[in-house]
Structure 1
Amino acid sequence: MNDSWLKNPQSLFDVRGQVAVVTGASGAFGSLAAKVLAGAGAKLVLAAGNKAALEETAEACRALGADVRTIARRPNTEADCESIMAVAVDAWNQLDILVVGSGLNDPCPITEMDLERFEGVMDGNVTSTWLLCKAFGKEVIPRNTGGKVVLVSSARGKLGHPAGYSAYCASKAATDGLTRALGCEWGKHGITVNAIAPTVFRSPLTAWMFEDTEKAKSVRAGFLARVPLGRLGEPEDLAGPLLFLCSRASAFHTGHTVYADGGYTAG
Protein backbone atom coordinates (compact mmCIF):
# COMPACT_ATOMS: atom_id res chain seq x y z
CA MET A 1 0.00 0.00 0.00
CA ASN A 2 1.28 3.45 -0.92
CA ASP A 3 1.34 5.51 2.26
CA SER A 4 2.89 8.67 0.82
CA TRP A 5 -0.31 10.50 1.74
CA LEU A 6 0.75 10.28 5.40
CA LYS A 7 3.23 13.07 4.74
CA ASN A 8 0.28 15.30 3.83
CA PRO A 9 -3.08 13.82 4.92
CA GLN A 10 -4.86 16.92 3.65
CA SER A 11 -3.97 15.80 0.13
CA LEU A 12 -6.76 13.23 0.45
CA PHE A 13 -9.22 16.13 0.11
CA ASP A 14 -7.53 17.61 -2.96
CA VAL A 15 -9.87 18.16 -5.93
CA ARG A 16 -7.63 20.51 -7.89
CA GLY A 17 -8.01 19.95 -11.61
CA GLN A 18 -11.13 17.83 -11.19
CA VAL A 19 -14.13 18.72 -13.37
CA ALA A 20 -17.38 19.04 -11.44
CA VAL A 21 -20.94 19.55 -12.64
CA VAL A 22 -23.16 21.29 -10.09
CA THR A 23 -26.88 21.60 -10.74
CA GLY A 24 -29.22 23.91 -8.90
CA ALA A 25 -26.31 26.33 -8.77
CA SER A 26 -28.62 29.29 -8.19
CA GLY A 27 -30.06 27.75 -5.01
CA ALA A 28 -28.74 27.69 -1.48
CA PHE A 29 -27.02 24.29 -1.50
CA GLY A 30 -25.98 24.32 -5.16
CA SER A 31 -24.44 27.77 -4.85
CA LEU A 32 -22.58 26.76 -1.71
CA ALA A 33 -21.32 23.55 -3.33
CA ALA A 34 -20.08 25.48 -6.35
CA LYS A 35 -18.16 27.95 -4.20
CA VAL A 36 -16.63 25.22 -2.03
CA LEU A 37 -15.40 23.31 -5.07
CA ALA A 38 -14.21 26.53 -6.70
CA GLY A 39 -12.17 27.43 -3.65
CA ALA A 40 -10.75 23.91 -3.60
CA GLY A 41 -9.48 24.23 -7.17
CA ALA A 42 -12.03 22.30 -9.24
CA LYS A 43 -13.15 23.28 -12.73
CA LEU A 44 -16.89 23.85 -12.82
CA VAL A 45 -19.96 23.48 -14.99
CA LEU A 46 -22.84 25.23 -13.25
CA ALA A 47 -26.44 24.60 -14.28
CA ALA A 48 -29.66 26.29 -13.19
CA GLY A 49 -32.84 27.67 -14.69
CA ASN A 50 -32.47 31.17 -13.25
CA LYS A 51 -29.87 32.68 -15.58
CA ALA A 52 -29.25 35.86 -13.57
CA ALA A 53 -28.72 34.00 -10.30
CA LEU A 54 -26.63 31.39 -12.12
CA GLU A 55 -24.27 34.04 -13.44
CA GLU A 56 -24.02 35.55 -9.96
CA THR A 57 -22.83 32.21 -8.60
CA ALA A 58 -20.46 31.79 -11.53
CA GLU A 59 -18.87 35.18 -10.91
CA ALA A 60 -18.41 34.35 -7.23
CA CYS A 61 -16.66 31.12 -8.24
CA ARG A 62 -14.45 32.91 -10.75
CA ALA A 63 -13.48 35.36 -8.03
CA LEU A 64 -12.25 32.32 -6.09
CA GLY A 65 -10.01 31.41 -9.02
CA ALA A 66 -12.12 28.75 -10.71
CA ASP A 67 -12.49 28.07 -14.41
CA VAL A 68 -16.28 28.10 -14.87
CA ARG A 69 -18.78 27.27 -17.61
CA THR A 70 -22.52 27.80 -17.24
CA ILE A 71 -25.64 26.40 -18.84
CA ALA A 72 -29.02 27.98 -18.05
CA ARG A 73 -30.96 24.76 -18.16
CA ARG A 74 -32.95 22.69 -15.68
CA PRO A 75 -32.55 18.88 -15.62
CA ASN A 76 -36.09 18.15 -16.78
CA THR A 77 -35.40 15.71 -19.62
CA GLU A 78 -32.73 13.29 -20.80
CA ALA A 79 -31.70 15.83 -23.43
CA ASP A 80 -31.32 18.54 -20.78
CA CYS A 81 -29.10 16.34 -18.63
CA GLU A 82 -26.98 15.14 -21.52
CA SER A 83 -26.49 18.76 -22.60
CA ILE A 84 -25.30 19.68 -19.12
CA MET A 85 -22.69 16.89 -19.13
CA ALA A 86 -21.66 17.82 -22.67
CA VAL A 87 -20.55 21.28 -21.50
CA ALA A 88 -17.88 19.67 -19.31
CA VAL A 89 -16.77 17.24 -22.01
CA ASP A 90 -16.63 19.92 -24.69
CA ALA A 91 -14.63 22.28 -22.47
CA TRP A 92 -12.13 19.86 -20.91
CA ASN A 93 -12.82 16.36 -22.26
CA GLN A 94 -13.13 15.34 -18.63
CA LEU A 95 -15.87 14.70 -16.06
CA ASP A 96 -15.17 13.63 -12.49
CA ILE A 97 -17.79 14.92 -10.07
CA LEU A 98 -21.56 15.40 -10.11
CA VAL A 99 -23.29 17.37 -7.36
CA VAL A 100 -27.06 17.41 -7.71
CA GLY A 101 -28.10 20.55 -5.85
CA SER A 102 -31.40 21.06 -7.64
CA GLY A 103 -34.73 20.28 -5.97
CA LEU A 104 -37.87 21.74 -4.47
CA ASN A 105 -40.58 21.49 -1.81
CA ASP A 106 -44.27 22.25 -2.02
CA PRO A 107 -45.85 21.69 1.41
CA CYS A 108 -49.52 20.79 1.37
CA PRO A 109 -51.79 18.45 3.38
CA ILE A 110 -52.20 15.25 1.40
CA THR A 111 -56.00 15.60 1.33
CA GLU A 112 -55.66 18.99 -0.35
CA MET A 113 -52.73 18.22 -2.65
CA ASP A 114 -53.59 17.36 -6.23
CA LEU A 115 -51.64 14.81 -8.24
CA GLU A 116 -49.96 17.46 -10.37
CA ARG A 117 -48.36 19.11 -7.34
CA PHE A 118 -47.24 15.75 -5.95
CA GLU A 119 -45.71 14.78 -9.28
CA GLY A 120 -43.99 18.18 -9.47
CA VAL A 121 -42.12 17.49 -6.22
CA MET A 122 -41.25 13.94 -7.27
CA ASP A 123 -40.07 15.12 -10.69
CA GLY A 124 -37.98 17.92 -9.20
CA ASN A 125 -36.35 15.78 -6.51
CA VAL A 126 -36.31 12.23 -7.86
CA THR A 127 -36.79 12.05 -11.62
CA SER A 128 -34.36 14.88 -12.37
CA THR A 129 -31.79 13.35 -10.02
CA TRP A 130 -32.19 9.96 -11.71
CA LEU A 131 -31.81 11.56 -15.15
CA LEU A 132 -28.67 13.46 -14.11
CA CYS A 133 -27.11 10.31 -12.71
CA LYS A 134 -27.95 8.43 -15.90
CA ALA A 135 -26.34 11.12 -18.07
CA PHE A 136 -23.27 11.22 -15.82
CA GLY A 137 -22.90 7.43 -15.89
CA LYS A 138 -23.25 7.23 -19.68
CA GLU A 139 -20.39 9.68 -20.01
CA VAL A 140 -18.09 8.51 -17.22
CA ILE A 141 -18.44 4.72 -17.16
CA PRO A 142 -16.95 4.19 -20.67
CA ARG A 143 -13.98 6.37 -19.70
CA ASN A 144 -13.11 3.98 -16.86
CA THR A 145 -11.83 6.89 -14.79
CA GLY A 146 -14.08 6.52 -11.76
CA GLY A 147 -16.03 9.42 -10.35
CA LYS A 148 -17.91 11.02 -7.50
CA VAL A 149 -21.66 11.62 -7.23
CA VAL A 150 -23.16 13.63 -4.39
CA LEU A 151 -26.94 13.88 -4.10
CA VAL A 152 -28.94 16.10 -1.78
CA SER A 153 -31.26 14.32 0.59
CA SER A 154 -32.74 15.66 3.81
CA ALA A 155 -33.41 14.68 7.39
CA ARG A 156 -36.96 14.38 6.04
CA GLY A 157 -35.93 11.33 4.05
CA LYS A 158 -35.77 9.55 7.40
CA LEU A 159 -38.25 11.52 9.51
CA GLY A 160 -41.78 12.67 8.85
CA HIS A 161 -43.11 16.20 9.28
CA PRO A 162 -46.59 17.36 10.29
CA ALA A 163 -46.76 20.35 7.94
CA GLY A 164 -47.81 18.73 4.67
CA TYR A 165 -44.56 17.03 3.67
CA SER A 166 -45.99 13.81 2.22
CA ALA A 167 -44.46 14.52 -1.20
CA TYR A 168 -41.16 15.95 0.06
CA CYS A 169 -40.49 13.19 2.60
CA ALA A 170 -41.31 10.54 0.02
CA SER A 171 -39.02 12.18 -2.54
CA LYS A 172 -36.08 12.36 -0.16
CA ALA A 173 -36.59 8.76 0.98
CA ALA A 174 -36.43 7.88 -2.73
CA THR A 175 -33.21 9.87 -3.04
CA ASP A 176 -31.73 7.78 -0.23
CA GLY A 177 -32.83 4.62 -2.03
CA LEU A 178 -31.29 5.80 -5.30
CA THR A 179 -28.06 6.55 -3.42
CA ARG A 180 -27.88 3.00 -2.10
CA ALA A 181 -28.87 1.42 -5.42
CA LEU A 182 -26.30 3.32 -7.49
CA GLY A 183 -23.66 2.86 -4.80
CA CYS A 184 -24.07 -0.89 -5.36
CA GLU A 185 -24.48 -0.68 -9.14
CA TRP A 186 -21.51 1.58 -9.83
CA GLY A 187 -19.01 0.26 -7.34
CA LYS A 188 -17.45 -1.94 -10.03
CA HIS A 189 -16.84 1.21 -12.08
CA GLY A 190 -15.02 3.03 -9.28
CA ILE A 191 -17.82 5.59 -8.97
CA THR A 192 -18.95 6.43 -5.45
CA VAL A 193 -22.50 7.67 -4.86
CA ASN A 194 -23.41 9.33 -1.59
CA ALA A 195 -25.92 11.87 -0.31
CA ILE A 196 -25.80 14.76 2.13
CA ALA A 197 -28.89 15.13 4.30
CA PRO A 198 -29.07 18.50 6.04
CA THR A 199 -31.59 19.85 8.44
CA VAL A 200 -32.22 23.61 8.74
CA PHE A 201 -29.14 25.61 7.75
CA ARG A 202 -28.72 29.31 7.08
CA SER A 203 -29.94 30.33 3.62
CA PRO A 204 -32.17 33.02 2.10
CA LEU A 205 -35.20 30.77 2.68
CA THR A 206 -34.44 30.08 6.32
CA ALA A 207 -32.90 33.42 7.33
CA TRP A 208 -36.02 34.33 9.30
CA MET A 209 -35.40 31.42 11.71
CA PHE A 210 -32.10 33.01 12.75
CA GLU A 211 -33.68 36.38 13.55
CA ASP A 212 -34.41 37.80 17.00
CA THR A 213 -38.17 38.02 16.52
CA GLU A 214 -40.70 36.37 18.83
CA LYS A 215 -41.91 34.07 16.05
CA ALA A 216 -38.36 33.04 15.11
CA LYS A 217 -37.36 32.46 18.73
CA SER A 218 -40.43 30.34 19.37
CA VAL A 219 -39.99 28.18 16.26
CA ARG A 220 -36.25 27.93 16.83
CA ALA A 221 -36.65 26.86 20.46
CA GLY A 222 -39.08 24.11 19.53
CA PHE A 223 -36.77 22.83 16.81
CA LEU A 224 -33.55 23.07 18.82
CA ALA A 225 -35.10 21.00 21.61
CA ARG A 226 -34.48 18.03 19.29
CA VAL A 227 -31.00 19.04 18.08
CA PRO A 228 -28.28 17.66 20.41
CA LEU A 229 -25.72 20.27 19.33
CA GLY A 230 -28.19 23.01 20.21
CA ARG A 231 -27.94 25.26 17.16
CA LEU A 232 -29.05 25.65 13.58
CA GLY A 233 -26.72 24.79 10.71
CA GLU A 234 -24.31 27.17 9.01
CA PRO A 235 -23.04 26.84 5.42
CA GLU A 236 -19.63 25.63 6.56
CA ASP A 237 -21.35 22.70 8.30
CA LEU A 238 -22.17 21.37 4.82
CA ALA A 239 -18.88 22.36 3.21
CA GLY A 240 -16.79 19.76 5.04
CA PRO A 241 -18.99 16.75 4.23
CA LEU A 242 -19.30 17.94 0.63
CA LEU A 243 -15.55 18.17 0.10
CA PHE A 244 -15.08 14.79 1.78
CA LEU A 245 -17.59 13.12 -0.53
CA CYS A 246 -16.15 14.79 -3.65
CA SER A 247 -12.54 13.81 -2.93
CA ARG A 248 -10.55 10.61 -2.61
CA ALA A 249 -10.85 10.94 1.16
CA SER A 250 -14.17 9.09 0.69
CA ALA A 251 -12.82 6.50 -1.74
CA PHE A 252 -14.16 3.64 0.41
CA HIS A 253 -17.53 5.25 1.14
CA THR A 254 -20.47 4.65 -1.16
CA GLY A 255 -24.23 4.24 -0.87
CA HIS A 256 -24.33 6.35 2.29
CA THR A 257 -26.54 9.21 3.37
CA VAL A 258 -24.49 11.56 5.54
CA TYR A 259 -26.66 13.49 8.00
CA ALA A 260 -25.39 17.04 8.51
CA ASP A 261 -28.01 17.81 11.13
CA GLY A 262 -26.43 18.43 14.51
CA GLY A 263 -27.63 15.04 15.68
CA TYR A 264 -31.29 15.72 14.84
CA THR A 265 -31.93 12.30 13.31
CA ALA A 266 -29.98 10.47 16.03
CA GLY A 267 -32.60 11.05 18.70
Structure 2
Amino acid sequence: MTLPAIDPSTLFDVAGKSAIVIGASGAFGQVVCATLGNAGAKLTITGGNADALAELQGELEQQSIAVCSVNRRTNSEADCDAIIEAALGAFGSVDILVIAAGVNDVSPITDMSPERFQAVMLANVEGAWLMARAAGKQMIEQGSGGKVVFTSSARGKLGHPAGYSAYCTSKSAVDGLTKSLGCEWGKYGITVNAIAPTVFRSPLTAWMFGDDDNAVAVREGFLARVPIGRLGEPEDLAGPLLFLCSRASDFHTGHIIYADGGYTAG
Protein backbone atom coordinates (compact mmCIF):
# COMPACT_ATOMS: atom_id res chain seq x y z
CA MET A 1 0.00 0.00 0.00
CA THR A 2 1.26 3.48 -0.93
CA LEU A 3 -0.30 6.39 0.93
CA PRO A 4 -1.02 9.62 -0.99
CA ALA A 5 1.71 12.25 -0.69
CA ILE A 6 -0.27 14.76 1.38
CA ASP A 7 1.29 17.37 3.64
CA PRO A 8 -1.53 18.76 5.81
CA SER A 9 0.76 21.47 7.19
CA THR A 10 0.73 23.28 3.82
CA LEU A 11 -2.90 22.79 2.80
CA PHE A 12 -4.11 25.98 4.45
CA ASP A 13 -1.00 28.08 3.86
CA VAL A 14 -1.75 31.63 2.63
CA ALA A 15 1.53 33.19 3.78
CA GLY A 16 2.75 35.83 1.36
CA LYS A 17 -0.50 35.95 -0.59
CA SER A 18 -1.95 39.35 -1.49
CA ALA A 19 -5.54 39.54 -0.27
CA ILE A 20 -8.08 42.30 -0.87
CA VAL A 21 -10.74 42.59 1.83
CA ILE A 22 -13.81 44.62 0.85
CA GLY A 23 -15.73 46.02 3.83
CA ALA A 24 -12.80 45.28 6.13
CA SER A 25 -14.01 47.25 9.14
CA GLY A 26 -17.34 45.40 9.38
CA ALA A 27 -17.93 42.41 11.65
CA PHE A 28 -17.08 39.77 9.06
CA GLY A 29 -14.39 41.94 7.50
CA GLN A 30 -12.54 42.01 10.82
CA VAL A 31 -12.73 38.21 10.98
CA VAL A 32 -11.24 38.07 7.48
CA CYS A 33 -8.41 40.45 8.40
CA ALA A 34 -7.56 38.63 11.62
CA THR A 35 -7.68 35.20 9.97
CA LEU A 36 -5.73 35.92 6.80
CA GLY A 37 -3.42 38.49 8.37
CA ASN A 38 -2.37 36.22 11.21
CA ALA A 39 -1.85 33.44 8.66
CA GLY A 40 0.71 35.59 6.88
CA ALA A 41 -1.27 37.14 4.04
CA LYS A 42 -0.66 40.74 2.96
CA LEU A 43 -3.86 42.76 3.19
CA THR A 44 -5.38 45.55 1.14
CA ILE A 45 -8.31 46.69 3.26
CA THR A 46 -11.17 48.86 2.01
CA GLY A 47 -14.21 50.60 3.41
CA GLY A 48 -16.24 53.77 3.31
CA ASN A 49 -15.59 54.84 6.91
CA ALA A 50 -12.17 56.48 6.90
CA ASP A 51 -11.83 56.61 10.69
CA ALA A 52 -12.76 52.95 11.18
CA LEU A 53 -10.42 51.94 8.37
CA ALA A 54 -7.50 53.87 9.87
CA GLU A 55 -8.15 52.34 13.29
CA LEU A 56 -8.22 48.85 11.81
CA GLN A 57 -5.03 49.46 9.86
CA GLY A 58 -3.31 50.60 13.04
CA GLU A 59 -4.38 47.47 14.91
CA LEU A 60 -3.16 45.22 12.10
CA GLU A 61 0.19 47.01 11.90
CA GLN A 62 0.62 46.59 15.66
CA GLN A 63 0.39 42.84 15.03
CA SER A 64 3.08 43.13 12.31
CA ILE A 65 0.59 42.34 9.55
CA ALA A 66 1.46 43.84 6.16
CA VAL A 67 -1.44 46.13 5.22
CA CYS A 68 -2.46 49.04 3.03
CA SER A 69 -5.84 50.74 3.04
CA VAL A 70 -8.13 52.26 0.41
CA ASN A 71 -10.97 54.51 1.59
CA ARG A 72 -13.41 53.50 -1.14
CA ARG A 73 -16.56 51.44 -1.55
CA THR A 74 -17.17 49.32 -4.65
CA ASN A 75 -19.69 51.76 -6.12
CA SER A 76 -18.13 52.15 -9.55
CA GLU A 77 -15.67 50.70 -12.02
CA ALA A 78 -13.23 53.49 -11.10
CA ASP A 79 -13.45 52.61 -7.39
CA CYS A 80 -12.71 48.95 -8.06
CA ASP A 81 -9.82 49.74 -10.41
CA ALA A 82 -8.34 52.02 -7.75
CA ILE A 83 -8.49 49.21 -5.19
CA ILE A 84 -6.71 46.84 -7.58
CA GLU A 85 -4.04 49.44 -8.31
CA ALA A 86 -3.45 49.99 -4.59
CA ALA A 87 -2.98 46.25 -3.99
CA LEU A 88 -0.60 45.98 -6.95
CA GLY A 89 1.36 49.02 -5.83
CA ALA A 90 1.75 47.69 -2.30
CA PHE A 91 2.17 43.97 -2.86
CA GLY A 92 2.63 43.33 -6.59
CA SER A 93 -0.26 40.93 -7.18
CA VAL A 94 -3.87 40.07 -6.36
CA ASP A 95 -4.22 36.49 -5.18
CA ILE A 96 -7.32 36.55 -2.97
CA LEU A 97 -10.48 38.66 -2.99
CA VAL A 98 -12.96 38.53 -0.12
CA ILE A 99 -16.17 40.55 -0.37
CA ALA A 100 -17.18 41.11 3.25
CA ALA A 101 -19.33 44.22 2.72
CA GLY A 102 -23.11 44.24 2.62
CA VAL A 103 -26.26 45.97 3.81
CA ASN A 104 -29.82 45.13 4.77
CA ASP A 105 -32.95 47.28 4.66
CA VAL A 106 -35.88 45.66 6.42
CA SER A 107 -39.32 46.71 5.20
CA PRO A 108 -42.52 45.17 3.84
CA ILE A 109 -42.30 45.31 0.08
CA THR A 110 -45.41 47.49 -0.04
CA ASP A 111 -43.61 50.15 2.01
CA MET A 112 -40.25 49.93 0.25
CA SER A 113 -39.39 52.36 -2.53
CA PRO A 114 -37.60 51.20 -5.68
CA GLU A 115 -34.70 53.44 -4.66
CA ARG A 116 -34.26 51.60 -1.36
CA PHE A 117 -34.41 48.25 -3.14
CA GLN A 118 -31.80 49.40 -5.66
CA ALA A 119 -29.51 50.59 -2.85
CA VAL A 120 -29.44 47.08 -1.38
CA MET A 121 -28.81 45.56 -4.79
CA LEU A 122 -26.00 48.03 -5.48
CA ALA A 123 -24.23 47.27 -2.21
CA ASN A 124 -24.73 43.50 -2.17
CA VAL A 125 -24.78 42.52 -5.83
CA GLU A 126 -23.54 45.15 -8.25
CA GLY A 127 -20.61 46.13 -6.04
CA ALA A 128 -19.61 42.48 -5.68
CA TRP A 129 -19.92 41.99 -9.45
CA LEU A 130 -17.82 45.07 -10.21
CA MET A 131 -15.08 44.12 -7.75
CA ALA A 132 -14.97 40.51 -8.89
CA ARG A 133 -14.73 41.74 -12.48
CA ALA A 134 -11.75 43.96 -11.66
CA ALA A 135 -9.98 41.32 -9.59
CA GLY A 136 -10.73 38.59 -12.12
CA LYS A 137 -9.11 40.58 -14.91
CA GLN A 138 -5.95 40.91 -12.83
CA MET A 139 -5.89 37.27 -11.74
CA ILE A 140 -6.36 36.09 -15.32
CA GLU A 141 -3.54 38.36 -16.49
CA GLN A 142 -1.25 37.05 -13.73
CA GLY A 143 -1.93 33.49 -14.91
CA SER A 144 -1.45 31.88 -11.51
CA GLY A 145 -5.05 31.32 -10.44
CA GLY A 146 -6.74 32.94 -7.48
CA LYS A 147 -9.41 32.77 -4.81
CA VAL A 148 -12.65 34.76 -4.70
CA VAL A 149 -14.94 34.53 -1.67
CA PHE A 150 -18.32 36.24 -1.58
CA THR A 151 -20.53 36.72 1.47
CA SER A 152 -23.96 35.20 1.04
CA SER A 153 -26.46 34.32 3.75
CA ALA A 154 -28.85 31.62 4.82
CA ARG A 155 -31.41 34.15 3.52
CA GLY A 156 -30.15 33.54 0.00
CA LYS A 157 -31.68 30.08 0.31
CA LEU A 158 -34.58 30.72 2.68
CA GLY A 159 -37.17 33.46 2.76
CA HIS A 160 -38.05 35.53 5.80
CA PRO A 161 -41.43 36.85 6.95
CA ALA A 162 -40.17 40.17 8.32
CA GLY A 163 -39.64 42.33 5.28
CA TYR A 164 -36.50 40.84 3.73
CA SER A 165 -37.56 41.05 0.07
CA ALA A 166 -34.52 43.15 -0.88
CA TYR A 167 -31.98 41.29 1.25
CA CYS A 168 -33.08 37.77 0.34
CA THR A 169 -33.19 38.70 -3.33
CA SER A 170 -29.70 40.20 -3.20
CA LYS A 171 -28.19 37.17 -1.49
CA SER A 172 -29.87 34.78 -3.94
CA ALA A 173 -28.22 36.87 -6.67
CA VAL A 174 -24.85 36.51 -4.92
CA ASP A 175 -25.36 32.74 -4.96
CA GLY A 176 -26.03 32.89 -8.68
CA LEU A 177 -22.93 35.01 -9.23
CA THR A 178 -20.86 32.53 -7.23
CA LYS A 179 -22.00 29.63 -9.34
CA SER A 180 -21.72 31.37 -12.70
CA LEU A 181 -18.19 32.70 -12.06
CA GLY A 182 -17.18 29.35 -10.61
CA CYS A 183 -18.03 27.87 -14.01
CA GLU A 184 -16.59 30.75 -16.04
CA TRP A 185 -13.23 31.00 -14.28
CA GLY A 186 -12.47 27.34 -13.60
CA LYS A 187 -10.25 27.18 -16.68
CA TYR A 188 -8.06 29.92 -15.19
CA GLY A 189 -7.56 28.15 -11.87
CA ILE A 190 -9.65 30.79 -10.09
CA THR A 191 -12.06 29.33 -7.56
CA VAL A 192 -15.19 31.27 -6.63
CA ASN A 193 -17.17 30.34 -3.53
CA ALA A 194 -19.34 31.98 -0.89
CA ILE A 195 -19.73 31.77 2.87
CA ALA A 196 -23.36 31.93 3.98
CA PRO A 197 -23.71 32.55 7.72
CA THR A 198 -26.81 32.92 9.76
CA VAL A 199 -26.82 34.98 12.99
CA PHE A 200 -23.32 35.46 14.40
CA ARG A 201 -22.14 37.88 17.05
CA SER A 202 -21.64 41.43 15.75
CA PRO A 203 -22.69 44.97 16.71
CA LEU A 204 -25.88 44.53 14.66
CA THR A 205 -26.87 41.25 16.31
CA ALA A 206 -25.62 41.93 19.84
CA TRP A 207 -29.20 42.38 21.09
CA MET A 208 -29.98 38.72 20.27
CA PHE A 209 -27.29 37.62 22.73
CA GLY A 210 -28.87 39.66 25.54
CA ASP A 211 -30.84 38.55 28.59
CA ASP A 212 -33.96 40.70 28.29
CA ASP A 213 -37.27 38.92 27.69
CA ASN A 214 -37.55 39.89 24.02
CA ALA A 215 -34.01 38.75 23.19
CA VAL A 216 -34.49 35.45 25.02
CA ALA A 217 -37.80 34.77 23.25
CA VAL A 218 -36.41 35.57 19.81
CA ARG A 219 -33.22 33.60 20.44
CA GLU A 220 -35.04 30.53 21.73
CA GLY A 221 -37.41 30.56 18.77
CA PHE A 222 -34.48 30.82 16.36
CA LEU A 223 -32.37 28.17 18.10
CA ALA A 224 -35.23 25.69 17.87
CA ARG A 225 -34.16 25.37 14.21
CA VAL A 226 -30.39 25.26 14.83
CA PRO A 227 -29.13 21.69 15.47
CA ILE A 228 -25.88 22.93 17.07
CA GLY A 229 -28.04 24.78 19.60
CA ARG A 230 -26.29 28.15 19.79
CA LEU A 231 -25.78 31.37 17.87
CA GLY A 232 -22.64 31.85 15.81
CA GLU A 233 -19.40 33.42 16.96
CA PRO A 234 -16.95 35.23 14.67
CA GLU A 235 -14.48 32.36 15.09
CA ASP A 236 -17.00 30.02 13.45
CA LEU A 237 -16.38 31.81 10.14
CA ALA A 238 -12.58 31.67 10.29
CA GLY A 239 -12.20 28.00 9.37
CA PRO A 240 -14.41 28.04 6.26
CA LEU A 241 -12.76 31.29 5.17
CA LEU A 242 -9.21 29.92 5.44
CA PHE A 243 -10.28 26.78 3.60
CA LEU A 244 -11.75 28.79 0.71
CA CYS A 245 -8.70 31.08 0.49
CA SER A 246 -6.08 28.32 0.49
CA ARG A 247 -5.10 25.47 -1.81
CA ALA A 248 -7.14 23.13 0.40
CA SER A 249 -10.15 24.24 -1.69
CA ASP A 250 -8.52 24.01 -5.14
CA PHE A 251 -11.14 21.49 -6.31
CA HIS A 252 -14.08 23.41 -4.82
CA THR A 253 -15.74 26.14 -6.87
CA GLY A 254 -19.23 27.53 -7.31
CA HIS A 255 -20.12 26.35 -3.80
CA ILE A 256 -22.14 28.04 -1.06
CA ILE A 257 -20.80 27.03 2.37
CA TYR A 258 -23.46 27.46 5.03
CA ALA A 259 -21.77 28.42 8.31
CA ASP A 260 -25.07 28.22 10.17
CA GLY A 261 -24.99 25.49 12.80
CA GLY A 262 -27.23 23.36 10.60
CA TYR A 263 -29.98 25.97 10.27
CA THR A 264 -30.49 25.36 6.54
CA ALA A 265 -30.24 21.58 6.87
CA GLY A 266 -33.64 21.21 8.52
Equivalence for 1:22: 21
Q: Which amino acid aligns with 1:258?
A: I
Specify every segment of 5 or more residues in structure 2 that has no aligned partner in the other structure, as ranges.
none
Equivalence for 1:141: 140
Equivalence for 2:73: 74
Equivalence for 2:237: 238
- 1:172 aligns to 2:171 (yes or no): yes
Equivalence for 1:218: 217
Shift of 1:91: 1.3
Shift of 1:34: 1.1
- How big is the alpha-carbon RMSD for the aligned residues of Structure 1 and Structure 2? 1.3
Shift of 1:3: 5.4
- Taking structure 1 as the reference length, the TM-score comes to 0.97
Alpha-carbon distance between aligned partners in 2 of 1:225 and 1:34, rounded to the nearest angstrom? 32
Shift of 1:5: 3.7
Equivalence for 2:33: 34
Shift of 1:81: 0.4
- Taking structure 2 as the reference length, the TM-score comes to 0.97
Alpha-carbon distance between aligned partners in 2 of 1:228 and 1:206, rounded to the nearest angstrom? 20
Aligned residues between the structures: 265
Equivalence for 1:258: 257
Alpha-carbon distance between aligned partners in 1 of 2:145 and 2:14, rounded to the nearest angstrom? 14
Shift of 1:55: 1.6
Alpha-carbon distance between aligned partners in 1 of 2:13 and 2:70, rounded to the nearest angstrom? 26
Shift of 1:112: 0.6
Specify every segment of 5 or more residues in structure 1 that has no aligned partner in the other structure, as ranges.
none
Alpha-carbon distance between aligned partners in 2 of 1:52 and 1:14, rounded to the nearest angstrom? 31
User: Is 1:186–1:192's contact at 8 Å kept on the other side of the alignment?
Assistant: yes
Alpha-carbon distance between aligned partners in 2 of 1:190 and 1:40, rounded to the nearest angstrom? 22
User: Is 1:41–1:65's contact at 8 Å kept on the other side of the alignment?
Assistant: no
Alpha-carbon distance between aligned partners in 2 of 1:17 and 1:207, rounded to the nearest angstrom? 34
Shift of 1:32: 1.3
Q: Which amino acid aligns with 1:58?
A: Q
SS at match of 2:115: helix
String of CA shifts for 1:100-145, please: whole Å, max 9, x gaps.
0111000110001010000000001000000000000111101101
Q: Which amino acid aligns with 2:14?
A: V
Alpha-carbon distance between aligned partners in 1 of 2:264 and 2:61, rounded to the nearest angstrom? 36
Alpha-carbon distance between aligned partners in 1 of 2:91 and 2:228, rounded to the nearest angstrom? 42
Structure-2 change in CA distance of 1:3 and 1:18 (3 Å)? farther
Equivalence for 2:196: 197
Structure-2 change in CA distance of 1:95 and 1:3 (3 Å)? farther
String of CA shifts for 1:21-53, please: whole Å, max 9, x gaps.
001011111121111111111000000000111
